[in-house]
Structure formats: C-alpha cells, structure tokens
C-alpha cells in the first residue's frame, strides 16, 4: 500500500502547481489587454483543468494496472523457477 501513496498524492500536488501557473497566465493575459475576454479564457482554463484531471486519473489507473501486471510476472517467474528445480 505504500507504493500507491505517491501516486495518490501526485495529482493533488500537480493540481496545486497548475492552478498557480494558470492563475499567473490568466493575470498576464488580463494585464496585456488581450482581445479575448477574460471570461472566455477562464472557461477554457477550467475546461483544460478538467481534461487534465481526467488524463491524470487515466494515467494513475494505467500505472496501477502496470504495477499489478509486473507483480504477477514476478510471481509467475518465481513459480517457473520452482517448477524447473
């Protein structure tokens, strides 16, 4: 269970960093007098944040599947070694 802890923490850690980064970009865009309304930018940022969260969940799911498969491979290799002896 300790191997899963860093994965569970990673999405939260990244999302805080991303929010800070997004906020900075949003402020920069507003101060530069961009022709795109800030409301449209905020909606796009929210959309991208949701998409990013989904991708991170999918990544965590795939990492878990990979770990499970690697564990199974290790167990099967041990079993093969025992059978060969």
- In this predicted model, what pLDDT tens digit does every residue of 35-52 receive, in sequence order? 668 899 999 999 999 999
> What whole-number distance in Å separates Cα of residue 50 and Cα of residue 81?
47
Q: Is residue 9 part of a domain?
A: no
Range of the domain at 54: 37-84
The pTM assigned to this predicted structure is: 0.51
Tell me the percentage of the chain whose pLDDT exceeds 90. 55
> What whole-number distance in Å separates Cα of residue 23 and Cα of residue 14?
14
- Structural domain total, the chain: 1
Q: Is residue 41 part of a domain?
A: yes
Q: Is residue 73 part of a domain?
A: yes
Q: Is residue 67 part of a domain?
A: yes
Residue 74: per-residue pLDDT: 97
Q: Is residue 45 part of a domain?
A: yes
Q: Is residue 54 part of a domain?
A: yes
């Amino acid at each position: 269970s300790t191997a899963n802890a860093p994965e569970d923490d990673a999405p939260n850690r990244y999302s805080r960093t991303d929010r800070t980064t997004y906020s900075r970009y949003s402020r920069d865009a507003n101060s530069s007098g961009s022709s795109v309304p800030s409301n449209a930018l905020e909606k796009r940022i929210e959309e991208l944040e949701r998409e990013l969260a989904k991708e991170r969940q999918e990544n965590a799911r795939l990492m878990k599947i990979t770990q499970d498969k690697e564990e199974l491979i290790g167990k099967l290799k041990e079993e093969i070694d025992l059978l060969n002896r």
